[in-house]
Amino acid sequence: MNAHEEEIEITGALRRGLGLNRRQFLAATTGIAAATAVAVTGGTGRAAHAATTPNGVLIPPPRRGIILYTVRDAVSRDPNSTSLPSGFRRVFEELGRIGYRQIEFAGYGQHANAEGGASLESVEGARLLRGWLDDNGLRAQGNHGFIPGSWPFTQADLDRFKRHLEIANILGMDHMGTGNDPTSSPYKADWDVAAEKWNALGAIARDAGIKLYTHNHDVAYSFLLDSGPLDAQGRPTRSSGVRRLEYFLSISDPKLVYLEMDIFWAHVAQFKHRTYTAPDGSVATDVFDPLAVVRPDTKRFPLFHAKDGRSNPATGNGYDMVPFGTGDIDYAAFFRGVGAKGSHNPMYEQDNAPGGTANPAQSLQYADVSYANMAALRG
């Protein structure tokens, strides 16, 4: 393949008719402009994305996924009120047309008027979903679903957790997890309890043939309060410099508990959580490196949230969420650095993708743009 042919492969049909090279295209497909470009060109479609993949591709076609939270507006809208894809079945058809091959659920609810009804959180509902996934060349890879809140578990919580494992197996998932941190506490003792709880859940999931995973927001990579003077409740007020989720990784069983790194929130942690008060009262600086956390134990991170951000130091998070491939997070360097090529499952996510009444098609348009940029990622 010569350079010209590779350029065509990289940019696909999104460039077509726009007269842009790859660099110009990536600069242009930002925010609303990105969705507008897709609308003008009529979408990329599976055929445009399914061309021969050259060497150096960082996310192989079978691994390109999306969490349905990104298109939650489409899943939940009334199909009787619009011609846009609505409900699980029609959204699966559109995502399959775009080229996605993996799905991460964010629950099993949809609009009551959609085929199958409001809730598909049942054995029968899972069988219906599995048929629609199969029809569109999609595979369920995970779910942000139910994790018992109590510890020790109540019988009702345990029964519901096992029912979710049964649903996961019907859907063909290798993984089941949550969109929350193991605990929101800053204290070491609470993370000790979280690890005990997750080890127990992980053993139940393993017996069902499922890998259990947790998810991070930026605060999970802030510093653990584990030392220094105690407060009035007997809790530590300072840190030895260990980050919360890294501590959890070190004390939970690597054969039972897995992680889905949200790469956007990990970079927000790099921006926000840079200093801590050491046991002696001094202020220490330690800049977080997401890749350095993943690389030594890369297969413990079977899923990623591929959520992009454009740098904006004026905001509290340091980044604005944008379609994948249109921000400043160096995804090429990240996926090149994690190793174990072909063993990870990146799920495109964008919390602010829904366009509301002003642009109800936006989330699926962003999904189209983001798939093209995911396919274009080269090492």
In a domain, 318, yes or no: yes
State residue 127 phi and psi, 5-degree precision: -65, -40
Query: Chain-centre distance of CA 106, in angstroms?
Result: 10
CATH number at residue 77: 3.20.20.150
In a domain, 53, yes or no: no
pLDDT attached to residue 54: 56
In a domain, 196, yes or no: yes
Separation of alpha carbons 8 and 10, rounded Å: 5
Specify whether the backbone of 209 is left (phi greater than 0), alpha (psi in -120 to 50) or beta: left
Separation of alpha carbons 62 and 43, rounded Å: 20
pLDDT attached to residue 55: 72
DSSP 227: E
Neighbours of 111 (CB within 10 A): 19
In a domain, 34, yes or no: no
In a domain, 7, yes or no: no
In a domain, 24, yes or no: no
Averages of pLDDT over each 10 residues, the chain, 379 residues: 40 37 39 40 42 72 98 98 98 98 98 98 98 98 94 96 98 97 97 98 98 98 98 98 98 98 98 98 98 96 98 97 98 95 94 98 98 95
In a domain, 191, yes or no: yes
Residues 6+ apart with CB under 8 A from 5: none
Which of 55, 86, 165, 24 is CA-nearest to residue 363?
86
Give the helix, strand, coil percentages of the chain, each rounded to 5.
Answer: 45, 15, 40
Which of 305, 281, 301 is CA-nearest to residue 292?
301
Amino acid code (one letter) for 231: D
pLDDT attached to residue 30: 39
Q: Specify the 3-state DSSP secondary structure of 350.
A: coil
pLDDT attached to residue 340: 87
pLDDT attached to residue 355: 98
Q: Specify the 3-state DSSP secondary structure of 214.
A: strand
The total domain count for the chain is 1
Full domain range(s) for residue 277: 59-376
In a domain, 367, yes or no: yes
